[in-house]
Amino acid sequence: MKNIDFWFITMAIIYAVLGMALGLIMGIIQDISHTPVHAHINLVGWASMALFGLIYRAYPDLAASPLARLHFIAMTIGTPIMLAGIPLSHAGVTNVPVVAGSIAVFTATIVFLVNFVKNSGKAA
Ligand code: HEM
Ligand code: HEM
């Protein structure tokens, strides 16, 4: 997938803005009940996506594999579903979105592992 590093890093920065904004709001209104959402917006959305982008940049052969597209699609769809599912789960409404989103994020990461093991041989 062309420019996958750019797209992962762009998405990461958007999650950084959202995660930090939520952290600021939590601090200002002194309500830390959304800490798990804040933590995972920043750690799955910002930190993990930024690392994925930088790793694709460092190992360009990974981006050429069809596994890269699958990784990107599963992260793009799974992450917001997982994040939106956390408050629904905590409120006792439903666990379905958080579980489905988490499985998508986990599967995406397994796909990335397979791609890395298969195609990282020729490091830049
Ligand atoms: C403008 C930036 C940020 C603000 C204002 C902010 C604010 C906060 C606040 C108010 C809490 C709750 C603290 C408490 O329990 O008393 C918190 C927790 C947390 N934040 Fe942030 N945060 C920011 C950025 C980040 C970033 C960039 C990350 C990760 C890359 C992060 C990861 C976490 C984690 C993991 C927790 C939970 C810590 C725990 O389990 O005790 N935060 N943050
Ligand atoms: C599929 C991916 C993931 C799943 C399913 C998951 C699941 C969970 C769960 C169930 C909790 C306990 C939340 C609670 O207390 O309500 C948790 C907390 C935490 N996770 Fe994750 N996690 C994932 C990814 C990550 C990643 C990638 C990081 C770091 C890079 C991370 C860092 C943390 C931290 C720091 C906490 C404590 C935050 C807090 O105090 O709320 N997680 N995670």
pLDDT for res 2: 83
Task: Decide which of 2 and 78 is more confident.
Answer: 78
Residue of the CA atom closest to atom 24 of ligand 2: 44
68 CA distance to ligand 2 middle (Å): 24
Number of domains in the chain: 1
CA–centroid distance, 110 to ligand 2, in Å, is 17
Assigned domain for 35 exists:
yes
Domain contains 124: no
Here the tokens at position 26 are: 């939590």
Two tokens, residue 97 = 């979105």
Residue 94 is assigned to a structural domain of this protein: yes
Range of the domain at 111: 4-119
| pLDDT single digits (tens) 68-77 | 999 999 999 9
DSSP string, 39-104: HHIIIIIIIIHHHHHHHHHH-HHHHHSHHHHHHHHHHHHHHHHHHHHHHHHHTTS-SHHHHHHHHH
pLDDT at position 87 is 97
Q: What is the pLDDT of residues 57-113, one digit of tens each?
A: 999 999 999 999 999 999 999 999 999 999 999 999 999 999 999 999 999 999 999
pTM of the model: 0.95
Ligand 2 nearest-atom number relative to CA 35: 41
Does the residue 17 lie in any domain?
A: yes
